[in-house]
Structure 1
Amino acid sequence: MHQALKQKDTKEPAIFIELGRLYRMIGDKNNEQKIYLQGLEQSPKNIILMLNLASNHEINQAFDDAIALYEKVLLINPQHNVSKNNLATVLLDHYGKTDDLNKAIQLTESFKQSNQPYFLDTYGWAKLKSGKTAEALSIFKQVILLEPNTLIFRYHLAVAYYNLGNLMSAGAELKQALYLGKGEEFSEKVLIKNLLVKIKDK
């Protein structure tokens, strides 16, 4: 793989994508980023390279850089659903001003009838963050029907129940989320445990 990259005429994006994937597998975030940047020098409009680099930026908490890449993808293809979903998620989870919420809702509006649970979940999360909790609850229930074994979906459903005062259902969903993530490290674990503590204190 490295030999292929050393060739002066190497422009095949798949080589950079695969090498970046290998670097991610071994936890080498810096070289992963360098490879994607190198690939984008050769293929500046390659969407997969841009998405992979944006994901790398998110892992490194460089959210402004991730947003810039998702927006660049949407300039190339305004209907690119993965970019819309990921951009909305970053805005909802790491920014949260009124303009950010409005943009996230606009980005996810087309997911309203989606059968893709991740897209539908992000639409529901945007609704919840904008204060439309009852709507969000209905959406999250649909998500669980589509995909019952994803812990982030259980967590989002729990938050909706909690915000509506249904503490018993919220607690049950949080415990199910922890069960689904048993033996793993995941970013939402602290949020789930904190919400469980709030429920116990009430």
Structure 2
Amino acid sequence: MAEESYTKALTISRYSASYAIPYAKSLINKNEQSRAEDVLQNTLKRQPGNIAVTRLLAQVKLNQDDFDGALVIANSVRNASNSNLSELIEAEILMRKGDDIGSLALLDRAYKKMPNDMQTITAIVKIHLSKQRTDAAKSFLDTVLVANPSNYDAKLLLAQVYDASNEPVKAQEIFTNIIALEPKKIEAYQQLASSYAKAGDLAAAKLAIENGITINPNSIELYMLLAEIHQMNNQHKAAIAVYDKVLLQNPGLLVALNNYISIVADYETDPKVLNDAYARAQKLKGAGIPQFMDSLGWISYRVEKFDEAEQQLSEAINKIPDNATFHYHLGKIYLAKNDPTKAKANLEKALSLSENKDQKLATEIAKLLKSV
């Protein structure tokens, strides 16, 4: 949803949490913490007991290192029923101050109070993993599952810990067992495919997602992941076809549209397809998301609308100055505009940012710089 739509929906709904939370999250993702805080504070004035809004407001305070403000929120929900939010906030504050022992002790008490609260369970595992205590994380999750063998999320988390511990075979075994027990839930398919992909077995990753789609044919998330697997396999036409299918059913899904535009701009050569993608990309305008600006700018470049392309990429770089791809794209645009000085500056910046992160991109940029 574009920002104008969010603000209109907030006003009409009188700051309903169902609109306020996704809007605040979008602002947080754009690092507009103060604006997110304003939205959440206004929502809490109307719905003072909303735990989900309170939790997100505490996260905003923590994002700004406002520990005193976060502690005030923790105290305000200390007596809330069926919630460990107060302990979770205080534990996060202690962790950020370097007191993982105190944080863990607090979370342990919270877990005993509410042993099925996944946020508390996840926070405990997070602390163990942050200190490279993978065995402790596994042991704790085993205890959780002994107490509640049907805890789907705890099983997923245990498999993720094994995957993070460089034990993909064990992780994949757990994911497969979870799927057998809960075939209608998509998370295990997603995690299993990601585990296979990380291990380099893209065929198995694709099969896992296709199996999930067979059981869950309306899952947008699984189709989106299938498109990603096609991209990893350099099957760009197949990825484009998947995104087209998703967008046919969900034309307002901007993430899918952005991904579609990005692939078309990178790999398509048919002028008709490129021009159609450029027309569709106009929906990305006004979202305020740098990656969307990059996609819109890059497809504008591909249809030779260089001034529009320059404007979009410049705005994207203003928001994220150290993105190698953004500078590479802007450098190519300046080459098309016969401005070698600006082209060289952006390409050199892109090269310095990509050398230790994306060797394929760095090689392409170095080759291009020789001709500038």
> Is residue 14 of structure 1 aligned with residue 187 of structure 2?
yes
Whole-angstrom CA distance in 2 between matches of 1:106 and 1:21: 33
Q: Which letter maps to 2:209?
A: Y
User: Aligned residue for 1:58?
Assistant: 231
Contact 1:85 1:107 in 2 (8 A): no
User: Aligned residue for 1:48?
Assistant: 221
Determine helix, strand or coil for the equivalent of 2:273. helix
In the TM superposition, what are the counterparts of 1:40-189 in structure 2 within 5 Å?
Answer: 40-189=213-362
Compute the RMSD of aligned alpha carbons.
1.5
Displacement of 1:191:
2.6
User: Aligned residue for 2:208?
Assistant: 35
Whole-angstrom CA distance in 2 between matches of 1:188 and 1:79: 31
Contact 1:115 1:146 in 2 (8 A): no
Spell out structure 1 runs of 4+ moving beyond 6 A: none
Call closer, same or farther: CA 1:181–1:93 in 2, change over 3 Å: same
1:115-140 deviation per Cα after TM superposition (whole angstroms, max 9, x unaligned) = 10111111111111111112211221
1:20-62 deviation per Cα after TM superposition (whole angstroms, max 9, x unaligned) = 1222222221111111011001111111110111011011121
Call closer, same or farther: CA 1:122–1:56 in 2, change over 3 Å: same
> Is residue 5 of structure 1 aligned with residue 162 of structure 2?
no
Contact 1:92 1:126 in 2 (8 A): yes
Q: Which letter maps to 1:126?
A: I
Q: Which letter maps to 1:6?
A: A
Structure 2 runs not aligned, ≥5 long: 1-174
Displacement of 1:188:
2.4
Displacement of 1:186:
4.3
Q: TM-score of the superposition, structure 1-length normalised?
A: 0.92
Contact 2:179 2:185 in 1 (8 A): no
Query: Greater shift after overlay, 116-125 or 98-107?
Result: 98-107
Contact 1:92 1:100 in 2 (8 A): no
User: Aligned residue for 2:60?
Assistant: none
Q: Which letter maps to 1:2?
A: T
Whole-angstrom CA distance in 1 between matches of 2:250 and 2:307: 33
Structure 1 runs not aligned, ≥5 long: none
Query: Greater shift after overlay, 99-108 or 48-57?
Result: 99-108
Whole-angstrom CA distance in 1 between matches of 2:266 and 2:287: 21
Displacement of 1:12:
1.0
Q: TM-score of the superposition, structure 2-length normalised?
A: 0.51
Identity of aligned residues (%): 28
State which of 156, 172, 197 in structure 2 corresponds to 1:24. Answer: 197
Query: Greater shift after overlay, 179-188 or 134-143?
Result: 179-188
Q: Which has the larger radius of gyration?
A: 2
Q: Which letter maps to 1:93?
A: D
Displacement of 1:189:
2.5
Displacement of 1:161:
1.3
Contact 1:16 1:35 in 2 (8 A): yes
**With CA pairs under 8 Å and 6+ residues apart, which has the higher RCO, 1 or 2?**
1
User: Aligned residue for 2:88?
Assistant: none
Call closer, same or farther: CA 1:11–1:186 in 2, change over 3 Å: farther
Contact 1:101 1:130 in 2 (8 A): yes
1:147-172 deviation per Cα after TM superposition (whole angstroms, max 9, x unaligned) = 11111001011111111122122111
Whole-angstrom CA distance in 1 between matches of 2:177 and 2:261: 38
1:101-127 deviation per Cα after TM superposition (whole angstroms, max 9, x unaligned) = 112112210122231011111111111
